[in-house]
Chains A and B, each alone.
Chain A
Amino acid sequence: MAGNPRKDEISGVDTTGHEWDGIEELNNPLPRWWLWVLYASVIWSIGYWIAMPAWPGISDYTRGMLGYSQRQTVMDELAEVKAGRADIEAKIVASSLEDIAKNPNLNQYALAAGQAAFGDNCAACHGSGAQGAKGYPNLNDDHWLWGGSLEDIHYTINYGIRSTHDETRFNDMTAFLADEILEKQEISDVAEYVLSLSGTSSDSEAAQRGLPLFEDNCVACHETGGVGNREMGAPNLSDKLWLFGGDKKTVVQSISYGRKGVMPTWEARLDPVTIKALSIYVHSLGGGE
């Protein structure tokens, strides 16, 4: 490749002696502005090594005279953001949920903070759009096991359901088959009756047979007509929404073995501002009462 430099007749410029398939390289000088930029960059970089963190060592690195640290900058910025929020967060702590919801500023802040916190903490079970899944309630609809007011939602988030907290919401759906209270046939009849409450039963005779059984065993919690009782977290069985599913097989399964879904307590894991913000956010999704 490398040959002897020679003078190119056409341009009058020396070649570098490099040649590829007959194409030779002219040894034109670099543009002067380009050289200036190069020299300036070299000088700049020396200053930069002295002023800024630059060279890695074995256990440390050169810190630079200006003491700049990207990590420290981020920490400072975060602290600054936190300090900037202190004011509004103090107001949120001091205000009742009702007042927060009515105050445009606090409400806007709570909605934004709640949405972010929901994505981080709640979406794993309830879905990113709070649409829920089988066994995990949809928080957009108007069906609430324990109540959909701001206070109710706040309590649920704070203490959880069947959680480890002493104040937790708790109930215990009887496992009618496992505990040998009802026979299989009886459970099937009760299931037909339960389905008939929302008009989805296909066997009215069985439903008739199930009625007395329902009244004996279920109304204590689910009330007459299966309208449910929020005090006890007993779901309304007469509406069109099912947490675990509204087909016969699933209902039989629910009666036979009970349902014991768990929602953790967030009191120790989230700060009071975040829990309030989450309450406001969940309440705003469309089902809030």
Chain B
Amino acid sequence: MSTKLEQIVKEATVEVEAVNKKENRPLYKKREPIFPKRAVGQFRRLKWLIMIVTLSIYYLVPFIRWDRGPGAPDQAVLIDFPGNRFYFFFIELWPQEVYYITGILIVAGLVLFFFTSLFGRVWCGYACPQTVWTDLFIAVERWIEGDRNARIKLHRHKWDFEKIWKYTLKHTIWLIIGMATGGAWVFYFADAPTLLVDLFTLQADITAYSFVALLTFTTYTLGGLSREQVCIYMCPWPRIQAAMMDEDSLQVTYRKDRGEPRGRAKKSEDHKAFGDCIDCKQCVVVCPMGIDIRDGAQLECINCALCIDACDGIMDKMGTARGLIGYDTDANMARRLKGIPQKFSLLRMRTIFYAVAIFAVCAFMVYLLASRSPLDLNVLRDRNPIFVKLSDGSIRNGYTVKILNKERAPQQFLVTVTGLDFKEIKINDIENVGPAPIVDVKSDNLRSVHLFLSANAQELETSSEPITITITNKETGYSVSNDTVFIGPNK
């Protein structure tokens, strides 16, 4: 080994043990703080970019405006609890249409499974809010206290003025980030610009402040204090995701076939006896989870890829090829050990299944959304009494008819009933207009009216006759029907 390289190795090498190594972490052990070193490289840049994009979406989306006409909120994304509506750009959902949200969650789940089976824990590593916020909190910590060694030094230092002000500043900024997180959350539930002003002028509702406080607390605790503990102990996903992965899933992998035996040759030794890993432990010091990637796939590893950046940096300096740590599959590792060429198979039963499932659910959702009715009808038959006999011997049934007008304009609906020759079709309501059963429904509203149908007893061939109640929009002619029955005495 040349002197220059030896110098590099010496500089790079840190004597450290991964604090969250399985053997180092018995049950009931107190959390050991982790001081991740700053990583530099392509994955770090990608993570910064994703952080900026995801946080921007989270903080800015409530401020996007979307004109829906007078009387309707102009916020693009709004969960309006008092008004019982969910607005998402051009989509407007009523509480009974919550299955769309279920559909979105199913698609989100499938997409997560799909990406996990292809690229392993990319969600954990790049997009999970826990990862993003923890990354942000660590960035703040590093900005105030310095990089790894300075932070360790400060941590071990006695409480003096410098330590106090640095820690105070750090926790204050963390709390402010937490508050901003909670602050942005509540904007999704009310008009954001108004609420922003109200929050600062102390005029907002106590609920808003409560949620800001709650999310400040959780963000500060989870992102600032608990960090990797959340992933290791609290999150169910690390346990579940293993079911989506197989030997062809890409994972952040230490290529032990190339790296081992790790270590560096002394002058006297033959450096060919060693692998590419110089055991500098840079991959350990950058790890926010406190593990050693060289121990193989672990539940604690969130696949954040920072060890790839760290290792690539060292490999560049050493003049060896990059990728001692990189995205790789278990199958390829086995192939290389056997001397077979590598192969990446993205098309597998598993990934094809997930892709098809995603496509099917999306297509179904789009179909549902496109064929979504601007009108909804619910008919509830009176059950007490089941029917009423009138003085002329005819039979009367009562129905509660609920009409939902989802349009942003008042509508008139004509009620027609088919299936029997009725003597009388009467809407028993104080605002009933004229003999033709027409119901006015205000814009974006539900109206419930009581409908009485009477028929001659002779009309009924059986004690229960199927009938259909139809409402037709007087203007557009759009109609919706509901099947029910007309019941008379036992035959």
A residues near B, CB below 8 A?
28-29, 31, 101-102, 104, 107, 127-131, 138, 140-143, 236, 239-241, 284, 286
Known: A29-B28, A101-B430, A286-B428. A236 touches B391 (CB 8 A): yes
Looking at the assembled complex, report how far the CB atom of A185 sits from the nearest CB atom of chain B, in whole angstroms: 30
Could you list 10 examples of A-B contacts with CB < 8 Å? Answer: A29-B28, A129-B382, A129-B385, A140-B396, A141-B388, A141-B390, A142-B391, A236-B391, A239-B392, A286-B398
Query: 5 shortest A-B CB distances, which residue pairs?
Result: A129-B384, A239-B391, A131-B385, A240-B393, A140-B388
> Contact: A241 with B398, CB < 8 Å?
no
Chain A residues within 8 Å of B383, by CB = 129
Chain A residues within 8 Å of B185, by CB = none
Chain B residues within 8 Å of A140, by CB = 385, 388, 396, 398
Known: A128-B384, A131-B385, A286-B396. A102 touches B430 (CB 8 A): yes
Q: Which of B391, B396, B450, B452 contacts A240 (CB 8 A)?
A: B391
Chain B residues within 8 Å of A101, by CB = 430
Interface size on B, residues (CB 8 A): 19
Cα distance, A50 to B214, chains bound together (Å): 28
Known: A284-B428, A286-B396, A286-B428. A141 touches B28 (CB 8 A): no
Q: Which of B367-387 contact A (CB under 8 A)?
A: 382-385
Q: Which of B402-432 contact A (CB under 8 A)?
A: 428, 430-431
Q: Is B349 an interface residue (CB 8 A)?
A: no
Chain A residues within 8 Å of B430, by CB = 101-102, 104, 107
Chain B residues within 8 Å of A142, by CB = 390-391
Chain A residues within 8 Å of B396, by CB = 140-141, 286
B residues near A, CB below 8 A?
27-28, 382-385, 388-393, 396, 398, 428, 430-431, 450, 452
Closest partner residue, chain A, to B384 (CB atom): A129
Cα distance, A52 to B174, chains bound together (Å): 37
Looking at the assembled complex, report how far the CB atom of B484 sits from the nearest CB atom of chain A, in whole angstroms: 17
Closest partner residue, chain A, to B398 (CB atom): A286
> Contact: B391 with A286, CB < 8 Å?
no
> Contact: A240 with B431, CB < 8 Å?
no
Chain B residues within 8 Å of A130, by CB = 385
Closest partner residue, chain B, to A104 (CB atom): B430
Q: A102-B430, A129-B384 are in contact. List 15 more A-B contacts (CB 8 A).
A: A31-B28, A101-B430, A104-B431, A129-B383, A130-B385, A140-B396, A141-B396, A142-B391, A143-B390, A239-B391, A239-B393, A240-B393, A286-B396, A286-B428, A286-B452
Closest partner residue, chain B, to A240 (CB atom): B393
Cα distance, A236 to B393, chains bound together (Å): 13
> Contact: A28 with B389, CB < 8 Å?
no
> Contact: B384 with A143, CB < 8 Å?
no
Chain A residues within 8 Å of B27, by CB = 28
Chain B residues within 8 Å of A138, by CB = 385, 388-389
Chain A residues within 8 Å of B390, by CB = 141-143, 240-241
Looking at the assembled complex, report how far the CB atom of B74 sits from the nearest CB atom of chain A, in whole angstroms: 30
Looking at the assembled complex, report how far the CB atom of B443 sits from the nearest CB atom of chain A, in whole angstroms: 17
Closest partner residue, chain A, to B426 (CB atom): A286
Chain A residues within 8 Å of B391, by CB = 141-143, 236, 239-241
Cα distance, A141 to B428, chains bound together (Å): 14
Cα distance, A104 to B385, chains bound together (Å): 25
Closest partner residue, chain A, to B431 (CB atom): A104
Cα distance, A271 to B241, chains bound together (Å): 66
Chain A residues within 8 Å of B389, by CB = 138, 141, 240-241
Chain B residues within 8 Å of A131, by CB = 384-385, 388
Looking at the assembled complex, report how far the CB atom of B312 sits from the nearest CB atom of chain A, in whole angstroms: 40
Chain B residues within 8 Å of A236, by CB = 391
Looking at the assembled complex, report how far the CB atom of B384 sits from the nearest CB atom of chain A, in whole angstroms: 3
Looking at the assembled complex, report how far the CB atom of B169 sits from the nearest CB atom of chain A, in whole angstroms: 28
- Which among A104, A128, A138, A140 has the greatest number of chain B C-beta atoms within 10 A? A140
Cα distance, A131 to B398, chains bound together (Å): 13
Cα distance, A140 to B382, chains bound together (Å): 12
Cα distance, A29 to B29, chains bound together (Å): 11
Looking at the assembled complex, report how far the CB atom of A84 sits from the nearest CB atom of chain B, in whole angstroms: 19
> Contact: A28 with B28, CB < 8 Å?
yes
Looking at the assembled complex, report how far the CB atom of A63 sits from the nearest CB atom of chain B, in whole angstroms: 29
Chain A residues within 8 Å of B431, by CB = 104
Chain B residues within 8 Å of A284, by CB = 428, 450
Cα distance, A108 to B263, chains bound together (Å): 85
Cα distance, A24 to B230, chains bound together (Å): 32
Cα distance, A29 to B27, chains bound together (Å): 10
Q: Which of A29, A31, A240 contacts B392 (CB 8 A)?
A: A240
Cα distance, A108 to B398, chains bound together (Å): 18
Looking at the assembled complex, report how far the CB atom of A127 sits from the nearest CB atom of chain B, in whole angstroms: 8
Cα distance, A102 to B450, chains bound together (Å): 16
Cα distance, A143 to B430, chains bound together (Å): 22
- Which among A28, A130, A236, A241 has the greatest number of chain B C-beta atoms within 10 A? A241
Looking at the assembled complex, report how far the CB atom of B441 sits from the nearest CB atom of chain A, in whole angstroms: 14
Cα distance, A29 to B28, chains bound together (Å): 8
Looking at the assembled complex, report how far the CB atom of B350 sits from the nearest CB atom of chain A, in whole angstroms: 38
Cα distance, A79 to B487, chains bound together (Å): 44
Cα distance, A142 to B389, chains bound together (Å): 9
Chain B residues within 8 Å of A28, by CB = 27-28
Closest partner residue, chain A, to B394 (CB atom): A240
Chain A residues within 8 Å of B382, by CB = 129
Chain B residues within 8 Å of A286, by CB = 388, 396, 398, 428, 452
